[in-house]
Amino acid sequence: MDKRIADISDPKVIIPADGCTDLFFRLFNSMYDGVCIFEVCGTKVKALYLNERYFHVVGYTREQYLPYYDNVTITLFEEDEKRIFEMAFECLEKGTDFYCEVRGYRFDQSVGRFCIRARAVDFIKSDNPVFLASINDISDQKNTEHMLSLNAERSRILEETSTAFLLDYDWVNDIMTFSPARDRENIVIPAYTSYLRRNCPIYEEDVIYYCKVLFNICRKPGKGFVDVRSLDKKLNKYTICRLILTSIADEYGSVFRVVGRLEEIDEHSGLIARLAADRTSNSIAGLPDSVSALSTIRNRIAECRCRCFMALADLDDFTRFNEKYGKAAADDAILLAAELIKSTFPDNAVIFRYVSDDFVIFLEDITESMLHDMVDKLRVACQTAMLTLNGEAQSAVLSFSVGAAWTVCNEKVNIKDFFITADRALIKAKNECKGKMYVEKITY
């Protein structure tokens, strides 16, 4: 170290001075970074000091932020809040700094992305660990990174096919963009779910399965394909189209876009017949197959004039369960899930296995509170259920996320309204917190 520069980490160098505290905080308030001093009190993070820039970074005024002073991490995503606690205590043990990127809600409920740098300090008297931290808004940077990954994926798809339509679905804003080949203009469809329910040329039963594939990879990263019959208005006949889809997720696994391609295929490719066979062979635990159940639901929607609910129940983290315990245990878990649902809901409910680990429950003439009671009963049943895993009876460790749609049936209502609305509700339930239910009214 240059001897002309004093080592201020040496306690001998520090001289107490009047007014030093005021100078210290004036310096903090002049910084571009948001600066905070916080105290970790059990499961809460209490703010001891926040500079003016801090409020600008997190998207609040000082007055709007008052309710969060005693627990500043409550505005963050739950998993990010847990990560901060883990890193803080790890750094206390090792005596190191920590850096992490988190997501949080601003006052206007938009989602911001922030980077936090912090280290434990001892210049504040406290019985609890105290940290000095800086925070910056990196939302624009992350959005740029996401767009770069999106464009890279679109370019890859474009290279693979030059005759198909490329598609780009912004599920958060519900906007679908089709990009035809040969330098033709893009086709942009806002309010895409409403379009699927009312104006879509896809055959009704096929659009239900198409939406299932689409919304499934909207809520968790993955790929999928589906063959559908689409009406060619010029020729006045159905053609068969294949949609191949892949989701684009951020570094936390949250899907922000779905891209893919749409192309016309030969009717004799064999996939149509195979998919049709799949739909009639998914009966389980005495439940009807999906084709029979869909027919029953259509008839009930057409005949009744009461309040009806359709709930989509999806097993949480089932892919991970399958990887951990194997296919045989996964099949047993699906069978157990079917039995639990069948025993929980009334006999007049239409229940069937939809796709893989998803189930559909259609109920007539009930209230939303009654549906909540039934789902709570299912949740309790899952907690007490036993399953043979690794050769011994263990807790099944099953939980469902549920998306539900409801309306008072009339001549305007069709089965697509229920499926598409419930699928969108299921995405919200999964994003909010697994093991929960989100209910949405069908709107027109």
Q: Give the model's confidence band at 147: pLDDT under 50 very low, under 70 low, under 90 confident, else very high.
A: confident
Backbone angles phi and psi of 24, in degrees to 5: -55, -50
Span 190-201, average pLDDT: 90
Burial label, 155 (beta-carbon count in 10 A; 0-12, 13-18, 19+): exposed
**What confidence score (pLDDT) does residue 15 get?**
46
Burial label, 59 (beta-carbon count in 10 A; 0-12, 13-18, 19+): buried
pLDDT of 277 above 70: no
pLDDT of 83 above 90: no
**DSSP string covering 337-388, please?**
HHHHHHHHS-TTSEEEE-STTEEEEEEES--HHHHHHHHHHHHHHHHH-EEE
Whole-angstrom distance, CA of residue 354 vs CA of residue 212: 9
6-26 pLDDT, tens digit each: 444 455 544 444 444 554 555
**In the chain, % of residues over pLDDT 90:** 32
> Contact, 424 vs 215, CB < 8 A?
yes
**What confidence score (pLDDT) does residue 121 get?**
82
27-48 pLDDT, tens digit each: 555 567 888 888 888 888 898 8
Q: Which residue has the higher pLDDT, 137 or 126?
A: 137
Cα angle value 232/233/235 (rounded, 5°): 70
Whole-angstrom distance, CA of residue 240 vs CA of residue 230: 6
**DSSP string covering 38-107, please?**
EEEETTEEEEEEE-HHHHHHHT--HHHHGGGTT-GGGGB-HHHHHHHHHHHHHHHHHT--EEEEEEEE-T
Which domains, from first to last, does the chain contain? 20-137 (3.30.450.20), 142-273 (3.30.450.20), 282-441 (3.30.70.270)
Q: Give the model's confidence band at 175: pLDDT under 50 very low, under 70 low, under 90 confident, else very high.
A: very high
pLDDT of 115 above 70: yes
3-state DSSP call for residue 266? coil
**What confidence score (pLDDT) does residue 13 get?**
44
pLDDT of 190 above 90: yes
**What confidence score (pLDDT) does residue 27 get?**
56
pLDDT of 108 above 60: yes
Report the relative pairing of strands 34-41 and 111-120 from DSSP bridges.
unpaired
Q: What is the number of other CB atoms lying within 10 angstroms of the CB of residue 379?
A: 18
> Contact, 405 vs 293, CB < 8 A?
no
Span 67-74, average pLDDT: 90
**What confidence score (pLDDT) does residue 273 get?**
46
pLDDT of 209 above 80: yes
**What confidence score (pLDDT) does residue 8 get?**
41
Whole-angstrom distance, CA of residue 429 vs CA of residue 218: 12
Whole-angstrom distance, CA of residue 427 vs CA of residue 418: 14
Q: Identify any residues that bridge with 400 across adjacent strands, giving them in sequence order.
A: 315
**What confidence score (pLDDT) does residue 261 get?**
87
Residue-wise burial string across 328-360, b where 16 or more C-beta atoms lie within 10 A, e elsewhere: ebbebbbebbbbbbbebbeeebbbbbbbebbbb
pLDDT of 426 above 70: yes
Span 322-343, average pLDDT: 87
Q: Give the model's confidence band at 61: pLDDT under 50 very low, under 70 low, under 90 confident, else very high.
A: very high
**What confidence score (pLDDT) does residue 425 get?**
92
> Contact, 422 vs 437, CB < 8 A?
no
Whole-angstrom distance, CA of residue 112 vs CA of residue 102: 8
Q: What is the number of other CB atoms lying within 10 angstroms of the CB of residue 416?
A: 19
Residue matched to tokens 């790929």: 223
Q: Which residue has the higher pLDDT, 144 or 170?
A: 170
> Contact, 121 vs 111, CB < 8 A?
no
In one letter, which amino acid is 49? Answer: Y
Give the distance, in angstroms, between the CA of residue 348 and the centroid of all CA atoms in the same chain: 32
Span 180-189, average pLDDT: 77
**What confidence score (pLDDT) does residue 383 get?**
85
Whole-angstrom distance, CA of residue 420 vs CA of residue 413: 12
Q: Checking phi first, is residue 130 left (phi over 0); if not, alpha (psi -120 to 50) or beta?
A: beta
3-state DSSP call for residue 286? coil
**What confidence score (pLDDT) does residue 1 get?**
42
- Sequence-ordered list of residues with C-beta below 8 angstroms from that of 104, at least 6 positions apart, any chain: 58, 75, 76, 77, 80, 111, 112, 114
Decide: pTM greater than 0.75: no
pLDDT of 393 above 80: no
**What confidence score (pLDDT) does residue 28 get?**
56
Q: Which residue has the higher pLDDT, 412 or 16?
A: 412
**What confidence score (pLDDT) does residue 163 get?**
67
> Contact, 58 vs 112, CB < 8 A?
yes
In one letter, which amino acid is 313? Answer: A
